[in-house]
Structure 1
């Protein structure tokens, strides 16, 4: 893994590149723009930076501690821009339920089922974070096609998609973590996400990184969608 120079940036800051996404990103070497929502410490951005060296990466992380680490990793990289906020359907400051493992934090309450499937993810505190639609953060002409949007927001997926609004037409690919169980109270499940994106002319193309419970039931995975039209 560390034969890839960009991964060393993360290793210096004790952040492992999200190599589980390599297989997916190898398919998308034509991408010119990546919007990375739920960036945490830069695990996905490190892999995207390696496999999509010509792409601009716009990352979003509202929690101060992981955002600070992300900024340290990419501080000298003009192709990676971090916004210290999140994407949603409305503008405002909202309480984030911070997990003991901060990459499991959510704007939705953490359920007991989440703690059961993923021990050590219970809530430890709340932090106010800034949320706004995507067009609050970036402009339409910053999205060069073909473009990918990656969403990993622990149950807040549908609100993020609503917050992207008309910008959805500017993305060819969507890569979104979705669940088959309500790991966060009130979260939309996988079929809700599929139905929403189907209505927006995206085709479901596959699942990566499936997680199973002890009885071999699928719990969650990274869902891949592609725009039906050839516009992008």
Structure 2
């Protein structure tokens, strides 16, 4: 009983300073990396679709979080795709595909920007943030293939349990 009152008293005291006491068993819920690891485990994720793989940052985060399942990355920009293939090393559960995913299949011009995180099918807009004006400029255009996720899953040679799949989308347009 005294322990409970002490915990409540200390908790109320530290809240005055903008702090929060969290039981050790709940810490993972408040740390992004730990939360992500817990999310993957708690939801029994076996496959990750990484749409807009860029330089493979999300794949790296998954592996750092201890994810040992299949990661299927999609990156339409040829130079980034080439770099991802070189980075693949011995990760046999990482597939990398050089096309975009979209609403319908086809080909379309893709804008390669000065900074690759801004690559997009859309024309750059500078109306919101001036900080990125020099980086959000078209360097070149590239014709890319577009497929649909439905067709990819249907045509895939691997069995994918969509109930245990995480779909990460980080795209511009």
Q: TM-score, length-normalised on structure 2?
A: 0.70
Matched position secondary structure for 1:29: helix
Structure 2 portions without partners, runs of 5+ = 1-31
Corresponding residue for residue 146 of structure 1: 164
Q: Could you list the per-position Cα deviations for residues 35-62 of structure 1 after superposition, in whole angstroms to 9, with x for gaps in the alignment? A: 0000011011111122142221010000
Moved >4 Å (runs of 4+): none
* Structural RMSD (CA): 2.2
Contact preservation (8 Å) 1:115, 1:122? no
Higher RCO (CA-CA < 8 Å; seq separation 6+): 2
Q: Which has the larger radius of gyration?
A: 2
1:147 CA drift (Å): 1.5
Q: Could you list the per-position Cα deviations for residues 164-223 of structure 1 after superposition, in whole angstroms to 9, with x for gaps in the alignment? A: xxxxxxxxxxxxxxxxxxxxxxxxxxxxxxxxxxxxxxxxxxxxxxxxxxxxxxxxxxxx
Aligned length: 136
1:124 and 2:124 matched: no
Structure 1 portions without partners, runs of 5+ = 1-20, 157-232
CA distance, structure 1, for counterparts of residue 110 and residue 48 of structure 2: 24
1:114 CA drift (Å): 5.7
> Which structure features the higher share of strand residues?
1
Mark the CA change 1:76 to 1:129 in structure 2 (over 3 Å): closer, same or farther.
same
Matched position secondary structure for 1:93: strand
Q: Could you list the per-position Cα deviations for residues 96-135 of structure 1 after superposition, in whole angstroms to 9, with x for gaps in the alignment? A: 1111001211011111226624232211211011111113
